[in-house]
Each structure stands twice: as C-alpha cells, then as structure tokens.
Amino acid sequence: MPRFIRPLIAACALAATMAHAAFPERPITIVVPYAPGGAADAVARVLATRMGSKLGTSVIVENKAGASGTIGASFVAKAKADGYTMLYDATPYSINPHLFAKMPYAANALQPLSLVLLAPNALVVKAESPLKNVNDLIAKAKAEPGKINFASGGSGTVQRLAAELFRQQLGLDMVHVPYKSGGPAIADVMGGQVDFMFATVAASYPLVSGGKLRALAVSSPQRSARLPEVPTVAETVIPGYEAYEWNGVLLPAGTPAAISKQLHQVIAEVLKEDEVKQRLSDLGAQPVGSTPAEFSAFLKKEDAKWGEVVKKGNIKLD
C-alpha cells in the first residue's frame, strides 16, 4: 500500500469516529404515534426530559396520531437513520399488521432499541355486579351463550384482544361491543349497559378504589402492585395467560451501531432512576428495559400471539 494512502485512511477513520462521538449535535425527536394526553404520550415525555438531560440536548416529543399508530410509525420508518428521529410505540404496533390489508411501511423498516414498560389490564365489572370473581363470569357465560357482552375502546385495541384471547381460550360465546375510545366504554361498564371489559390498570384503578368498578382479575402473569388483592387470570383459570400493554423505542433501520448503543445506554440509565420508576408505577406499569435483541424477540412473540387471535376471531377494524 502506498505510504500516502495510510494517513488518508487513518484520517477518514478518525473523522468517522469523531462524527459518532459528537452525537447528538442537535435536538432529537421522539415521535409518539398517538394523541397527546394518553399513557404512552405521558411516559414518552418523562423519557424525553431525562434523556435530554443526559445527552445535553433537547429531546422533543412530537405526536403524529392516526390510523391506529401507523401514521407516526411510517414517518419514523422513512426518516433518516441517524439517531435524530425515534419512535415511541405501544402494543398496536404488534397488532396493526394483522388488521390492515397493507401496511404503509416495510416490516424491517424499523429496528427495536429497547422495551420500556409492561402494563397489565384489569378485567372489570360494575361495583354492584353479581359477578364476584372470574369463575362467576365464566359460569354465567357458559349458562347463557351469547348473552354476556364486553366493551372495548375499539376493535384494534389490546383491551379488545385481551378479552378475545380470554374468550377463545375458554371457548366462550360472548358479544363484543366496540366504542370509539376507552372512556365511554368504561362509563357503560360502570352503568351496567355492558357486562365487563379489560381496561388498563391506570384507567381502572381510581374507579376500583373509588368503589365504582370491581376488578375480577389482571392480565399479567404476576399480580399488579396497584391491585395486589386482585388475582391474575393465569393463576385463576388460564395458566400462561398474559395480555400486556407494552411501550418501547424503535429506530429507523440502519441507524449506526455506535449511535444506537449510545441511545440504548441512556434509556437504560433513565429507567433505573427512582423518580422514573415511581412515575411508571403510578401509571400501573412496570419499567423493564431490555437489549435490542430481547426487544426483538419480545416483538416476534407478540406478533405471533396477536396474529393468531385476530385470525381465529376474524377480527376486523371498526
């Protein structure tokens, strides 16, 4: 190799290293593909604030809601893979490919970075319901096929699919009543117009503790710290049952490894902070964190589970 080439190669390598070392040089955007005010939005803003402090730059949350989260996810999937645009997504990310005839981005257009949290749902009935536990609900559903109904905030929500998974695994004949959002659905469960629903612990806990709803079970493998007296579906009737709300961070595929590693390390540090853990606990969630490989394996498992539920239940978007 000619002598003058070696210094040139070394200079290029040094320049590349310095470019990565300089990250970030400008503000980072976290895209939340849902409307402001929801749980995912709230956690993303906590994450953004703490990440910005550690990275020494502004981390901005931008909401790009619509089409069950696919608009925002598509935006990030098509963004430059430089670490300056991140996706903070949730369970619909795993459900949407099975509900939409065509997705607006390729399956490999995003790369998992880190799981952030897991949050269980609670199976709730009105406080005055004669159904005192899950076995009461099952017995009534078996005795009166097609008479028990359950609410959800929409056909593509994890709450709807949590109930569908419950129904399928027990072989029950029950009727789904979809609403445009979770609020009206919970209101009609409280009013007795609908028999039950799976609702997030964050949404249901104040109503359960306030005596307006009764929680019969939670959807996580372990009991919820917010509702410790409420048994899990798994321990009660369906071993292995779980239907989580998850949140996680993804990047455009092809993001440089050094940048991905830096962002992952910062997220891991944030999730260990006591203040952040308490904030997530207040939302009924468990901070988990993960490696990119662990998050990828988790997403594959979620994809397979919800794909089977959607297919078996012939579930369509409202």
Q: Model pTM?
A: 0.90
pLDDT at 19: 46
Averaged pLDDT for residues 122-128: 98
Question: φ, ψ for residue 218 (rounded to 5)?
Answer: -120, 160
The number of residues in the chain equals: 318
* pLDDT tens readout for residues 145-194: 999 999 999 988 999 999 999 999 999 999 999 999 899 999 999 999 99
**All CATH 3.40.190.150 domain ranges in the chain, comma separated:** 20-119+245-313
**Alpha-carbon dihedral sign for residues 194, 195, 200, 204:** positive
d(CA 21, CA 17): 6
Averaged pLDDT for residues 40-62: 97
**All CATH 3.40.190.10 domain ranges in the chain, comma separated:** 121-236
d(CA 187, CA 299): 32
| CATH placement of domain 20-119+245-313 | 3.40.190.150
Tokens linked to 148: 């028990």
Report strand pairing: 85-90 vs 110-119: unpaired
* String of DSSP letters for the chain: --TTHHHHHHHHHHHHHHHHHT--SS-EEEEESS-TTSHHHHHHHHHHHHHHHHHTS-EEEEE---GGGHHHHHHHHTS-SSSSEEEEEETHHHHHHHH-SS-SS-TTSEEEEEEEEEE-EEEEEETT-S--SHHHHHHHHHHSTTT-EEEES-TTSHHHHHHHHHHHHHT---EEEE-SSHHHHHHHHHHTSSSEEEEEHHHHHHHHHTTSEEEEEESSSS--SSSTTSPBHHHHT-TT----EEEEEEEETT--HHHHHHHHHHHHHHHT-HHHHHHHHHTT-EE----HHHHHHHHHHHHHHHHHHHHHHT----
pLDDT at 11: 55
Structurally, at CATH architecture level, domain 121-236 sits in: 3-Layer(aba) Sandwich (3.40)
pLDDT at 284: 87
Report strand pairing: 245-252 vs 110-119: antiparallel
Is 60 exceeded by the pLDDT of residue 126? yes
How high does pLDDT run on average in the chain? Answer: 93
d(CA 216, CA 229): 10
Q: Regarding predicted confidence, which is higher, 243 or 6?
A: 243
d(CA 230, CA 228): 5
Is 80 exceeded by the pLDDT of residue 4? no
